[in-house]
Amino acid sequence: MVSLDAGEPEMVATGNWRVSANCRNGDPERLFVTGAKQRDARSVCRGCPVLRQCLAHALDERIEFGVWGGMTERERRAMLRARPDVICWASLLSEVTARRSELAQASASVEAPGPFEAPIEAPTPVTARVVRVPAPRGAHTSESRSASISADEAA
């Protein structure tokens, strides 16, 4: 599958996103193949500046045939089945892309420790072991008690 946030520019709502598509000058039949050939046809969509708009159009219009927005017919059907509640795929995909951009910026702003700062290490886990304790005298011999002690107590 092709990433939705591959640095594509936002198109004006009234603009025609198709004029910026990677597939605009090629043979359209190469995107309307069947079976396993669809996976190869998706390569046309790699790096396309209007990938998200193309996919949203295909999902919103319930286009059944061909490769659209880097997804095969089967992949789009699966998305539609998984999210029957979505009314506008264009809005949803825009929101997802915006959230991914925000997360990427947030993770990029987290600084690594400086040369004089020690990295924070996770504490070592304390393991517990079970020790069989014999039952007190006078109790039935088949009874025994289990006690849990920490590694510190055992040492």
Give mean pLDDT, residues 139-155. Answer: 50
Q: The pTM is what?
A: 0.60
Which of 58-62, 68-72, 105-109, 119-123 has the least mean pLDDT? 119-123
- The pLDDT of residue 1 is 47
CB 59 within 8 A of CB 37: no
What does the mean pLDDT of the chain come to? 77
In the chain, domain spans? 17-109, 126-155
Q: Which two tokens stand for residue 15?
A: 């603009």
Query: CB atoms < 10 A from the CB of 69, how many?
Result: 26
> 129 - beta bridge partners?
149
- The pLDDT of residue 122 is 58
The tens digit of pLDDT for each residue in 37-65 reads 988 899 999 999 999 999 999 999 999 99
